[in-house]
Amino acid sequence: MKPDKNDLKKKLAAYCTLSAGFLAMHAEKACAQIIYTDVNPDAVLNSSFWLGANYQLDLNNDGIVDFRLSENFSSWSTYYMSTAFSAYLNSSNRIDGYGNNKMMASSLGNFPKPLSIGDTINANNIVLSNGILEHRFSSQEYHQGFPTVNNSFYSEQGLFDLYAEKYVGLKLLMGGNTYYGWARIKILWGEMIVYDYAVNPTPNQQILAGQQ
């Protein structure tokens, strides 16, 4: 599934046509050599009965795993007093960087930041070595003879909304150099989908979310 890239094309055109000597030379190099990987078919992480699912992401395709995207979904219920029971749902999606690889954080620095197509990925706020993309927990208590919920509880963490395609900004450290990249994902109840990812192989050069 391909996103709408009109906005990206405008930003990339401006980035790739810089006229100042040094910047222009490096911008062209960055635009021409992006390492892009289309995950085909899309990787659908769908855990079952407490067993988590994960995707090992090799950002630059050198055979070394750089990040892990993981999904865990579980549901269960408990009965008590023979007249009532509680139902629970737990959904957790996260990303972990191997070694010193990191991801872009929100301004508060506590969760990975969801990016839109065309957003700039560089040294700014690349501080997290791991983080929760989305975590939701709910519980509902039912009593015999009462079809409605008697008590309920809901909590959530993370900044990635359900059913929205977003990008994670990534930083890869290799051979003493720093490289910037992205991964495009979507989170659902009980699933995470990994669509594609890319990295700029020019050290210390930015990349735009969705740039290929």
Q: Dump pLDDT digits (tens) for 18-33.
A: 433 434 444 444 455 8
Residue spans of alpha helices (H) in the chain: 6-16, 21-32
Which of 59-63, 133-137, 167-171 comes out lowest in average pLDDT?
A: 133-137
- The mean-pLDDT minimum among 1-10, 104-113, 161-170 falls in 1-10
Distance between CA atoms of 83 and 20, rounded to whole angstroms? 75
Q: What is the pLDDT of residue 123?
A: 94
In one-letter notation, the amino acid at residue 180 is Y
pLDDT number for residue 81: 63
The least confident of 44-48, 82-86, 170-174 is: 82-86
The larger pLDDT score, comparing residue 42 to residue 82, is at 42
Of 154, 157, 72, which is closest to residue 110 (Cα–Cα)? 157
pLDDT (tens digit, 9 = 90+) per residue, 59-107? Answer: 999 999 999 999 988 777 777 666 676 777 788 899 999 999 999 999 8
Looking at the predicted structure, is the pLDDT value of residue 202 above 90? yes
| Average pLDDT value for residue range 110-139 | 92
Question: According to the model, what pLDDT value does residue 77 have?
Answer: 74
Minimal CA–CA distance to 140: which of 87, 185, 188? Answer: 87
What is Dmax (Cα atoms) for the chain? Answer: 78
In this predicted structure, the answer to whether residue 2 has a pLDDT above a threshold of 70 is no
As given in the structure block, the two tokens for residue 152 are 């309920």
Please, which residues bridge with residue 188 across strands? 191
Q: Residue 135: CB partners within 8 Å, gap ≥ 6?
A: 91, 92, 93, 94, 156, 157, 158
Give residue 20's pLDDT: 37
Percent share of the chain, pLDDT over 90: 53
Radius of gyration of the chain from its Cα atoms, rounded to whole angstroms: 21
Looking at residues 123-133, what average pLDDT do you find?
92
Distances (CA, A) of 8 to 17, 27, 129, 169, 211: 14, 15, 27, 15, 7
This prediction has a pTM of 0.80
Is the separation of the CB atoms in 160 and 168 below 8 Å? no
Residue 92: its H or E element? strand 84-97
The mean predicted confidence, pLDDT, of the chain is: 83
Rounded Cα distance, 119 and 100, in Å: 23
Which pLDDT value is given to residue 28? 42
Q: Which of 69-83, 142-156, 164-178 has the highest mean pLDDT?
A: 164-178
